[in-house]
Amino acid sequence: MTISLEEVYETSSMFLHDNLDIRTVTLGINLKGCIDSDFQKFRNKVYKKIFLNGRKLIAEAKKVEVKYGVPIVNKRISVTPISLIMETHCTKQKYLQMALTLDRAAKDSGIDFIGGFGAFVQKGMTESDAVLVEALPEVLSRTDRICSFINAGSNVSGLNLDAVNLIAEMLKKTSKKTKNGIGCAKFVVFVNAPEDNPFMAGAFHGIGEPDFSLNIGISGPGVVRSVIEKNKDCDLTGLSELVKRTVFKITRAGELVGRELAENINVPFGVTDISLAPTTRPGDSVAKTIEAFGIERIGAHGSTLALALLIDAVKKGGAMASSSVGGLSGTFIPISEDLGMIEAVQKGALSLDKLEAFTAVCSVGLDMFAVPGSTSAETIAAIIGDELSIGIMNNKTTAVRIIPVNGKKPGQLVEFGGLLGTAPVMKVSKFSSAKFMRRGGRMPAPITSMRN
């Protein structure tokens, strides 16, 4: 494909003026080969594998950044879901020791976050899965870089409500153990979790992956917003075309960096995740991108339509640019990490109900939102269940990252710091679903699952 000089300058301008960056490069590592009946030897093998490969990733990523002048914001590692390799060592204390080993390996090698401390429980929980959930409050409160996930359902298995109820109790305990409930920000509950997601907190190295793979997550809400603002008179058809072309260029730039980095560290290139991921930087907001369509404030009527158009154009542009689009590849709409979302909640334009409605048309789900610490475990479970059922019925990935904050009431602000930003505490329904959630069991898979 011939690339014009004008296109080179245009892409350079995206990095210089519109906050385009490589949000993350995530090295997936298979840890199954580290399993040993001697737990100390097991931990030593895990540490060595994480440390050596993490250090190599950091060194080569810096070289690529300098070569192309492209910022790579986060360097991360994802590992085999921990519950799968801890079957013969599944005690709460050993789970904590393994978490501390992973955390130390990540810290010593310079890795920002390490994901995969999780399990798949969509049809039921093994002893190892149950012990993992029990250990998470201690794990998330005593580590800095560990991120955890639970996949609680899928469109072919239904939704494990027993697991959701346990997760809600775990989140309440984790909140009490960490300042402002920050431990809960490192945990996400999924349905239809993808095996090649480079983004935290849900990244893990899937069982269908090779020993190593490098997945890349790009970001460009500021770039897309700039294009929309420059074309105020364009109709929706034309606007969709402009967004597609823009995302095509973003994807090509990101994949160039990802493939070269993978080659330099001698691992297979996995996928380019084309999700628009906001940050707390001014201009780097999905909410402001939606408002650029002509919506006064995200959450107003018409916002869902605008979001649907945006994500469809993003997916089409990415798919046209690469045959390796994967991961989540959608639009993140976290509250705390997006200044526009924060403003919308504070102005009363955006409620938890409207946020849930958004997730019917976009990934990834209800992300990084705070609720009062007094919210009951049953209500937290119900919020999670509502969102995950959307993913199951629509055959899509959805997730929840909810943060109950002790001592906080609706409207108050909670400071998380760094990329995690600031969250306005959101109001939840005063009416109870406790009796319903206590029924437990498993929501059966929808009829659409019968495709074989």
Q: pLDDT tens string for the chain (452 positions)?
A: 455 545 555 665 665 555 577 889 999 999 999 999 999 999 999 999 999 999 999 999 999 988 888 888 899 999 999 999 999 999 999 999 999 999 999 999 999 999 999 999 999 999 999 999 999 999 999 999 999 999 999 999 999 999 999 999 999 999 999 999 999 999 999 999 999 999 999 999 999 999 999 999 987 788 888 888 888 888 999 999 999 988 888 888 888 889 999 999 999 999 998 888 887 777 788 999 999 999 999 999 999 999 999 999 999 998 888 888 888 888 888 899 889 999 999 999 999 999 999 999 886 889 999 999 999 999 999 999 999 999 999 989 999 999 999 999 999 999 987 778 889 999 999 999 999 999 999 999 888 767 76
Measure the CA–CA gap between 444 and 161, rounded to whole angstroms: 10
Residues 136, 148: contact at Cβ < 8 Å? yes
Lay out the sheet containing 442-443: strands in order across: 153-154, 158-160, 442-443
Q: CA dist 295 to 303, 307, 394, 419, Å?
A: 7, 11, 26, 26
Q: Does the structural domain 219-449 have CATH classification 3.30.43.10?
A: no
Phi/psi at 350 (5° precision): -125, 125
Backbone angles phi, psi at 197, to 5 degrees: -75, 120
CB 434 within 8 A of CB 203: no
How does 103-124 read in b/e, with b if 16+ C-beta sit within 10 Å? bbbbbebebbbbbbbbbbbbee
- Per DSSP bridges, beta strands 158-160 and 187-191 are unpaired
Asked if omega into 201 is within 30° of 0 (cis), the reply is yes
Alpha-carbon span 163 to 375, nearest angstrom: 19
CATH number of 24-191: 3.20.70.20
Phi, psi dihedral angles at 89 (to 5 degrees) = -135, 35
CA distance 446 to 137: 33
252, 254, 260, 266 alpha-carbon torsion, rounded to 10° = -120
Euclidean distance between CA atoms 345 and 351, whole angstroms: 7
Q: How far is Cα 415 from Cα 179, in angstroms, rounded to an integer? A: 10
pLDDT of residue 357: 94
The boundaries of every CATH 3.20.70.20 domain in the chain are 24-191, 219-449
pTM of the predicted structure, to 2 decimals: 0.93
Helix (H, G, I), strand (E, B) or coil at 106: helix
pLDDT given for residue 353 in this prediction: 94
